[in-house]
Amino acid sequence: MSTPDFENILSVNFKSFPYHLIIPNVDNLIILNMLNHSENLENFKFTFERENLDVNIPEEFSKEVKIKPKETKEIPLQLTPTTDGFGNLSITIDWMEEIEYTVKVQKVRDTIHKSIINTTFEKNSLKPIESLESFDPEKYFLNLSNKDLKEKRKKIEQMKRDFELKKQILEKKKLKNQESEEEVSKLEPPKISLGEIEERIKTLAKGYLSIENLQKALELLKQLSDEQERRTLTFNFLKAYAIKNFEDFFKYLQNIENIKLRNKLVESVVLILVEQDKDNSIKVVDIFSEERGRNELLKTIILRIVGEDPEKAYTFSKKVTNDILRLELLFTVSNQYYRKGEKPKVFNTLREIIDIILKQDQQEIRSNSFKNNYYLFLKDALSGIAEIENPQLSDTLIRQIEDQMLIKKLTVDLFDLIYKMVDEVRTKVEPKTVFSQLYQFNIYRSNITNELQGFAQVGGNISSNVLNKQTNYRSAFLSLFSFEFSIFPTFDRLYNDLLNAQGENICYYIFPSIDNHSEEEENIMKTTLNQFLVNTNQAGNLEYIFNVDFIPYLGTPTVIMSSESYREEDIKIEINAQFGDRLQFLTKESIFEGGKTVEMLKEVFYSNQFKIVNLVFSYEFLNDYPIFYEFVKFLNQLI
């Protein structure tokens, strides 16, 4: 649909306008009538500015007003003066034009345009461990009856005695004969060796380990002569026993006071337990005293089990205290979830990665111009969520971050994956002024009499300088008759133009009689003329009272002047010289003789200070304001 030029979109006229003096308790109503010429529903904004006036504005027009196509709206405005003199009311109407325009805007993609999650996991995940060291616990158990244990124990004791005896005999022979041991042994029957005794000790220890007598087994191993073998077998016995009877082993482990030894034993046992019982392996790791080493053991356990049991690996990852290592392990767990098709769990681990990172100190994430593991992990976790869920969710998570610099960096780095630039049609409202006008009113509120109320109600008006009790004017223009139109706009324009041009001061008084100057109207005129002109100007500058009337068209702008105390002939010469044939100037005193209006004025302005001059203008002056203005200005300068 077409829209008229904005200057013509709204026509404004006045259904009612107060040309009278604005006083309290009188209907000072303005009714503004508007017509929307558009074929569309349009919005208009109304601005009212006032000075020395209270204006009652309907609530509807305190905000934007919608006017339908070809609809007419009225605004009633009731005025109340707040002082004496003049009041201003400025009315501005803006058409709130809706303008469509296109801009490039960043939008979140519906889906990613390429898959990068495999690359993301490959880059950030640790490699799972396929298997750890091989260990056969059965090698360290030997089922023996109590009788067998007892016999083997006695046999070992006998062998030890025999061995000791042999040592003593050999020693004595060496001292006595100074013969070599080799020579003596050739003379003696073969005896048991130390190696044979220790083999029997190891066998006996295995028997005691089988009946879960760990303490006895370890005591037997202490009898071995080779320290390295003794330590190795002790650790292997404990590893085997941990598998057979974990609870008893764990008590033993907790009671080891030597922290260094206990840590070494944990390191040795945990790698065996993880293949047998994952939970027990974690339980052992928990008593490892050194944090860094404990994290490394956890890492080993998690990487060993993550491929077959990512859920358990995820649970164990919570025990890792190094954040970077934990994040790497979470990526590894998430990767395994992804391979198994468990996307909800992939999302949960990626979300946990994000939460861990955002709990870090802000400077940690910003360090090295964002070239650090925290930022890289965060960016990759968000890209993973964009792929397995949707880019909108990643964008939401980014917008929830408090650090604006971090948001900006992520938005730039993830732009190609999550965002795109699209054309977006937007609408803006652009106010365009279709009507603006300032109205000045003569106002008064100080001394409201019945006569003044009657004066205003009939349409009477007085210039603001009179209402302000100013007396810097020599001439007053009075219009005491009614016409089919209001004379107020012409008189007020004349007053203001003269004032603004060269500071020419006049005043005016308008009383549009509707009852041929009846007794009541005469009383109103006398009272108000005395109140505002006579009493105020007893010691003022007012001298000339111009009693003005207008008559129908005469074909030429015509002025008729009459006065009992004014030099009509002298002024006629001056006026004819100034205006020539542009107007006709006549002096006819008889035209005013016997009129009661003139007599009333003589009665009011009785003092010799005042000179009453009667002026009659033909209607041509109302249609040709410039010559009317020029004539009054010239006349005011002549007097």
CATH number, domain containing residue 23: 2.60.40.10
Domain, as residue range, for 95: 6-99+430-435
Contacts of 587 (CB under 8 A, 6+ apart): 560, 561, 562, 568, 569, 572
- What pLDDT score does 38 carry? 92
For residues 103-126, give the mean pLDDT.
93
Q: Give the tens place of pLDDT for each residue, 269-281.
A: 888 888 888 889 9
CATH at 549: 3.40.630
In a domain, 188, yes or no: no
Tell me what the mean pLDDT of segment 430-436 comes to.
94
Helical segments of 318-390, H only: 323-339, 343-358, 362-366, 373-388
pLDDT in tens, 6-59: 778 999 999 999 999 999 999 999 999 999 999 999 999 999 999 999 999 999
In a domain, 581, yes or no: yes
- From the list 42, 27, 29, 50, the residue with the least C-alpha distance to 73 is 42
Q: Are 30 and 16 in contact (CB under 8 A)?
A: yes
Name the range with the highest mean pLDDT among 77-91, 121-135, 525-539.
77-91
Residue 540 has pLDDT above 80, yes or no: no
Ordered DSSP codes for 451-473? HHHHHHHTT-EE-HHHHTT----
Residue 480, CA atoms < 13 Å, CB-side half-sphere:
24
Rounded Cα distance, 517 and 509, in Å: 15
Distances (CA, A) of 578 to 36, 494, 508, 557: 49, 19, 25, 14
**Range of lowest pLDDT (1-10, 19-28, 318-327, 608-617):** 1-10
Residue 343 Cα distances to 113, 330, 453, 551, 589, angstroms: 19, 14, 87, 99, 112
In the listed set 393, 408, 435, which residue is the last one of a domain according to the structure? Answer: 435
Predicted confidence at residue 177, as pLDDT, reads 55
Angle between helices 323-339 and 373-388 (to 10 degrees): 20
Q: Is residue 175 part of a domain?
A: no
Cα distance between residue 525 and residue 520, in whole Å: 9
The pLDDT tens digits of the residues spanning 291-308 come to 999 999 999 999 999 999
Q: Is the pLDDT of residue 195 over 90?
A: no
What is the number of structural domains in the chain?
2
Q: Is 203 exposed, middle or buried (0-12, 13-18, 19+ CB in 10 A)?
A: middle
Identify the pLDDT of residue 512.
96
* Model pLDDT, residue 563: 76
The pLDDT mean for the chain works out to 89
Name the one residue in this structure whose structure tokens are 């001059």.
613
Structure tokens at 50: 């006032």
Considering 402, 435, 468, which residue would you say is the last residue of a domain?
435
- Residue 598 domain-assigned (yes or no): yes
**Taking residues 593-609, what's their average pLDDT?**
81
Is the per-residue pLDDT at 190 higher than 50? no
Across 123-127, 186-190, 232-236, 368-372, least confident range: 186-190
- Is residue 333 within 8 A of residue 313, CB to CB? The reply is yes
Nearest to 377 by CA among 401, 405, 349: 349
Q: What is the mean pLDDT of residues 340-367?
A: 95
Q: Residue 558: pLDDT above 50? A: yes
The HSE-up count of residue 9 (CA atoms within 13 Å, CB side) is 26
537 confidence band (pLDDT: 50, 70, 90) = confident
**Assigned domain for 316 exists:** no
Q: What six digits make up the tokens of 478? A: 């009075």
Residues 6+ apart with CB under 8 A from 384: 117, 120, 121, 334, 346, 350
Q: Give 304's contacts (C-beta < 8 A, 6+ positions apart).
A: 128, 129, 131, 132, 274, 275
Q: What is the pLDDT of residue 112?
A: 92
Residue 39 located in a structural domain: yes
> Residue range 93-113: average pLDDT?
93
253: in domain: no
Of 435, 457, 479, the position where a domain reaches its end is: 435
Residues 6+ apart with CB under 8 A from 394: 382, 383, 385, 386, 414, 418
- Asked if residue 567 is part of any domain, the answer here is yes
Cα separation, 171 vs 34, whole angstroms: 138
